[in-house]
Structure 1
Amino acid sequence: MPIGVPKVPYRIPGDEEATWVDLYNVMYRERTLFLGQEIRCEITNHITGLMVYLTASMASFILLGGEPTKRIAFPHARIMLHQPASAYYRARTPEFLLEVEELHKVREMITRVYALRTGKPFWVVSEDMERDVFMSADEAKAYGLSICRG
């Protein structure tokens, strides 16, 4: 006799009382990734597919963190510069305000790092981060993100 998916008590935002919800639904709502087996070749592509969006948003920041003489962007590369963002989920106002405050601190720290490493003024980097900016390898080099084209 199959057991099925375990259910756990969970208070859905907006509801007054907790209800029994399947475990996978709770993990999804809490933005949790649970690995229940050893990472092998068969599942690495699935994990990579799930997580690639996180690294795509941090790619220019990671590139910027490299040794100045080693920052290389291949000719066909596209580098995106944008402001940090948070997933929008329903939260009570105090929790939301704390998240906004933390996001503001992160944005300021990231902008300072970009300004320091690229040599651009803080206000220029801050304005550029207001929208998604896609750059070619040559444009990234001119901006100061990479040193040379690979």
Structure 2
Amino acid sequence: YLDSEDSGKPIYIYINSPGGSVLAGMALYDTMQHIKSPVVTINVGLAGSMASFLLASGEKGKRIALPHSRIMIHQAMGGAQGQAEDIKVEATQILQIQNSIVRLYAKMTGQPEETIEKDLMRDNFMSAEEAKEYGLIDQIIQLNDATDLPSRTGAQAGEAPKG
């Protein structure tokens, strides 16, 4: 819908999340890649697990974090119960998802896949500065310095509020 309204207008996603469902996150990732509008991602607190993946999935150059925000990456998690064959199928699925996530993180960050695999082995917390060095984000900003973000009044940066 947003893409059809004005495909040149950026879409801003503010993130403060410990993460969530891998499948739901991958659906959001696919949507972000499909639309024509540039997607600006902004970490305002914690971007953990799948939320860190979505943060890094924003438009290159427009992946932003506030100075005291944190980013956490780790391998895909899942669970299974049932008969042995059911568990085997679920394990195969989670490994396929993990391989896809490794490839995509490598593409988004510029890190080698081997580095990503190693760094995802455990919960890996980063400061905004460390995440920038790693390639998960592009900028660290103070909100009052953010000339390209919409203001609380809805006015565009540099415009006086209407009314």
Residue from 55, 58, 73 that aligns with 2:65: 73
Partners of 2:73 and 2:124 in 1: CA distance: 5
Matched position secondary structure for 1:68: coil
Instruction: Map residues 1-150 of structure 1 onto 2, 5 A cutoff.
Output: 53-54=19-20, 56-87=48-79, 89-150=80-141
Which whole-Å CA distance do the structure 1 matches of 2:103 and 2:87 have between them? 24
1:17-67 superposed Cα distances (whole Å, 9 cap, x missing partner): xxxxxxxxxxxxxxxxxxxxxxxxxxxxxxxxxx96517431110011100
Q: Secondary structure at the match of 1:130?
A: coil
Q: C-alpha distance in 2, partners of 1:106/1:93?
A: 20
Q: Distance in 1 between matches of 2:68 and 2:56?
A: 18
Question: RMSD in angstroms over aligned alpha carbons?
Answer: 1.7
Name which structure has the greater RCO, CA cutoff 8 Å, separation 6+. 1
CA distance in 2, matches of 1:104, 1:116: 18
Q: Give the structure with the higher percent strand.
A: 2
CA distance in 1, matches of 2:72, 2:140: 16
Share of identical aligned residues, percent?
Answer: 40
1:70 corresponds to which letter in structure 2? Answer: K
Name stretches of at least 5 consecutive residues in structure 1 with no aligned partner.
1-50
Q: For residue 54 of structure 1, what is the amino acid of its counterpart?
A: G
Structure-2 separation of matches of 1:80 and 1:60: 6
Secondary structure (helix, strand or coil) at the match of 2:86 reads: helix
Output the TM-score relative to the length of structure 1: 0.62
Higher helix share: 1
Residue 114 of structure 1 aligns with an amino acid whose one-letter code is: Y
Q: TM-score, normalized by length of structure 2? A: 0.57
- Residue 102 of structure 1: how far off its partner (Å): 0.4
